[in-house]
């Protein structure tokens, strides 16, 4: 599938640029459209551009290990030796 997609993106198409018909690769037309949308303030387009250039922003994960242990023990009490109920 990747090969087919790459081939399609490299296909030359004719598109309208500033009122003129211009030949370019399909991938170039997509990039132009994405940049046009970003220039109009479309957040999805802006996010996509920055994600591609800078990488996706990492989410910070913080966890209180002691509280997590307590929560787990409350849900699943430890099995006591000798107590075979």
Closest CA to 52 of 71, 30, 84: 30
Closest CA to 15 of 38, 34, 33: 33
Buried b (16+ CB within 10 A) or exposed e, 25-34: eeebbeeeeb
Is the per-residue pLDDT at 82 higher than 70?
A: no
Q: What's the pTM value of the predicted model, to 2 decimals?
A: 0.59
pLDDT of residue 7: 95
pLDDT of residue 66: 83
pLDDT of residue 9: 95
User: Tell me: the pLDDT tens digits for 5-55?
Assistant: 999 999 999 999 889 999 999 999 999 999 999 999 999 999 999 999 888
pLDDT of residue 71: 84
User: Tell me: the pLDDT tens digits for 57-75?
Assistant: 777 777 778 888 888 888 8
């Amino acid at each position: 599938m990747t090969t087919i997609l790459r081939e399609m993106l490299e296909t030359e198409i004719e598109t309208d640029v500033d009122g003129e018909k211009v030949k370019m690769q399909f991938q170039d037309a997509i990039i132009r459209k994405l940049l046009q949308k970003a220039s109009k303030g479309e957040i999805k387009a802006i996010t996509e551009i920055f994600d591609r250039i800078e990488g996706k922003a990492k989410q910070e994960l913080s966890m209180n290990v002691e509280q997590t242990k307590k929560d787990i023990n409350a849900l699943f009490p430890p099995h006591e030796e000798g107590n075979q109920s």
